[in-house]
Amino acid sequence: MAAAGDWLVTARRIKMTDMPQLVAAFHSLVGMAAVLVGWAAYLNPQAFGIAGADGIIEAQSRIEMGLGIAIGAITFSGSVIAFLKLAGKMSGAPIMLPGRHVINLGTLAGILGLTAYFTMDQSLWVIATVTALSFLIGFLLIIPIGGADMPVVVSMLNSYSGWAAAAMGFTLHNTAMIITGALVGSSGAILSYIMCKAMNRSFISVIAGGFGVDASAAGGEAKEQRPWKRGSAEDAAFLLGEAEQVIIVPGYGMAVAQAQHVLREMGDQLKAKGVRVKYAIHPVAGRMPGHMNVLLAEANVPYDEVFELEDINGEFAQTDVAFIIGANDVVNPAAKTDKSSPIYGMPVFDVDKAKTIMFIKRSMGGVGYAGVDNDVFYMDQTMMLLADAKKMVEDIVKALQH
């Protein structure tokens, strides 16, 4: 009960912006639990009813045990890397290792081969090697995946944790674990597939660990200095108040600044002036599936004003102001034009077609989570509003009141 109470306190105190890394941490614990249960069953099989008095484990139970330990170990190490990327402890840019696909395929083949061999020989070295290789492949699979794909990774790891729990359910002869694990595993896999389709990504390429991403695109710094225009809250308020339609594109920067409530207040003021206000949500905006939807719902933004990418992207050409708050990668035209970019092929909002673009970010020096500079910053119709997102929107709200 004490442990449950500790996690309840943690979950209640965690910031919404930190929720993705908390989810990754939960996944890692599920994975490690599967590994420990598998090893407990291996070391004392009689207690689990999977071996006779001679200590020989049933062949079927060895398969279940090997797969459960392997999936659990992959989930643990992969979730640790995801946690570090989401928490900013390591770069969100892809980290490419030479010959990574050969290494990954070889390691996976070794795990499967040894798991099959485990049915014939239950020696300690076999299961220990399976465990070690599985911890390794979880690490190798996640580090090449860039920040733009991280929401898919969170969903994918959720699926892995479910399958690990299901496998351990078979080992423990626990029907509830089997059913629950299968539900989590299948739903996570379906969500991952849907997100990949929405991002124009191959599901196999994501789970293979950055397959098809050019190593030269793994880094990402801001480009050379180019001319750009800076605006003020007063400038923004004037243009917003004169607009017929405004499309707001929220991103992780809005979440960090906790600006969703004041953003909704700005939207209400604009609607009072006769401006049509819409919110555009990208499937991977933020750090986990549905991140922006949750934040806007928390701020009581009307559901009928919130639109998915495919439903609103065609409206930017008829929009007076595209108001981007804390987003970057999801509005970056490099995804459509630069084949060397780690986000190439990902559908993005066509904000460059709007008459005016207002872009809130802290400074010109930073790049998005995928580590890619954004040509939208330097377009003629773009006004950069450099400040904390919440402070800038609060100033715009005050200016609209005058």
The pLDDT score that the predictor gives to residue 148 is 63
Look up the pTM and report it.
Answer: 0.74
pLDDT value at 360 more than 50: yes
The pLDDT score that the predictor gives to residue 347 is 86
> Across residues 183-206, what is the average pLDDT?
80
d(CA 294, CA 290): 6
pLDDT value at 4 more than 60: no
> Across residues 182-197, what is the average pLDDT?
86
Q: Which residues, 6 or more positions from 88, have their beta carbon under 8 angstroms from its beta carbon? A: none
pLDDT in tens, 19-63: 778 788 888 999 999 999 999 999 988 888 888 777 888 888 899
Q: With bands split at pLDDT 50, 70 and 90, how would you rate the model's confidence at 213?
A: very low
The better pLDDT of the pair 261, 287 is held by 261
> Across residues 145-162, what is the average pLDDT?
80
Residue 250: beta bridge partners?
Answer: 325
Residue of 213, 260, 201, 256 lying closest to 371 (CA atoms): 213
Residue 276: beta bridge partners?
Answer: 245
The 8-class DSSP code of residue 313 comes to: G
pLDDT value at 211 more than 80: no
pLDDT value at 137 more than 80: yes
Sign of CA dihedral 251, 253, 258, 264: negative
pLDDT in tens, 70-120: 999 999 999 998 888 877 777 766 777 787 778 888 999 999 999 999 999
Q: With bands split at pLDDT 50, 70 and 90, how would you rate the model's confidence at 219?
A: very low
The pLDDT score that the predictor gives to residue 231 is 92
pLDDT value at 218 more than 50: no
Mean pLDDT of the chain: 84
pLDDT value at 396 more than 90: yes
pLDDT value at 235 more than 70: yes
Which phi-psi region, left, alpha or beta, contains residue 109 (left: φ > 0; alpha: ψ -120 to 50)?
alpha
Structural contact between residues 210 and 140, judged by C-beta atoms closer than 8 angstroms: no
> Across residues 218-224, what is the average pLDDT?
47
pLDDT value at 217 more than 70: no
Active-site annotation, residues: 329
